Amino acid sequence: MYLDIPFYSMKKEDEKAFIIRPVLREINSSLLNEKPHRHRYHEILWIRSGSGKHTIDDELILIEPNTFYWIKQGQIHNFHEGIDLEGYLIRFTNTFLPYDPYTSLSTSLISQFKNSTSFQLSGEDIDSAERILACIYEEYQRTPGITGRLGVLQHLLMALLIMLERKSRSQSISALDESDSPDKEVYRKFLFLLEDQFRNQHKIGYYASELGVSNRKLSSIAKHYAGLTAKQLILECLLREAKRYLAFTQSTLAEITYHLGFEDTAYFCRIFKKHTGKTPQQYKKELKLE
* pLDDT per residue as tens digits for the range 29-87: 777 777 888 888 889 999 999 999 998 887 888 999 999 998 887 888 888 899 999 99
Contacts 24+ apart (CB under 8 A), 209-213: 211/186, 213/186
The reply to whether 26 and 150 lie within a common domain is yes
CB atoms within 10 A of CB 99: 12
Beta-ladder partners of 90: 20, 44
Residue 166 lies in a domain: yes
Secondary structure of residue 239 in the 3-state scheme? helix
Contact partners, residue 137, CB within 8 Å, separation at least 6: 20, 88
Q: Do 140 and 9 lie in a common domain? A: yes
2-22: burial string, b at 16+ Cβ within 10 Å, e else: beebeeeebeeebeebbebee
159 & 188 share domain: no
Q: Is residue 13 part of a domain?
A: yes
The reply to whether 46 falls in a domain is yes
Same domain, 166 and 35: yes
Q: Tell me how many domains the chain contains.
A: 2
Q: What are phi and psi of 191, to 5 degrees?
A: -60, -45
pLDDT at 110: 53
Confidence at residue 119, expressed as pLDDT on a 0 to 100 scale: 85
Over the stretch 175-184, which tens digit does the pLDDT of each residue have? 444 445 788 8
Is residue 176 included in any domain, yes or no?
A: no
Q: Does 177 fall in a domain?
A: no
In a shared domain, residues 44 and 118 = yes
The reply to whether 150 and 194 lie within a common domain is no
Query: Of the candidates 171, 191, 219, which is a domain's last residue?
Result: 171
Whichever domain contains 63, its CATH number is: 2.60.120.280
Q: Is 114 exposed, middle or buried (0-12, 13-18, 19+ CB in 10 A)?
A: middle
Task: Tell which of 149, 171, 193 closes a domain.
Answer: 171
Query: pLDDT 10s digit of each residue in the chain, 290 long?
Result: 444 677 888 876 665 689 999 999 998 877 777 788 888 888 999 999 999 999 888 788 899 999 999 888 788 888 889 999 999 999 988 778 765 444 344 444 455 434 567 888 988 999 999 999 999 999 999 988 899 998 999 889 988 887 887 766 555 434 444 445 788 889 888 988 888 899 999 999 999 999 999 999 999 999 888 788 999 999 988 998 898 888 778 889 999 999 999 989 999 999 999 998 999 999 888 765 43
65 lies in the same domain as 153: yes
Residue 255 domain boundaries:
182-286
Q: Identify the domain boundary among 120, 146, 171.
A: 171
Locate the DSSP E strands across 139-258: none
Q: Is residue 163 part of a domain?
A: yes
Kindly state whether residues 151 and 212 are assigned to the same domain: no
Q: Is 139 among the domain residues?
A: yes
Full-model pTM = 0.64
92 and 223: one domain?
Answer: no
Asked whether residue 41 falls in the same domain as residue 160, the answer is yes
Residue 210 in domain:
yes
Tell me the CB-side half-sphere exposure of residue 31, using CA atoms within 13 A.
6
**193 and 246, same structural domain?**
yes
Q: Are residues 120 and 251 in the same domain?
A: no
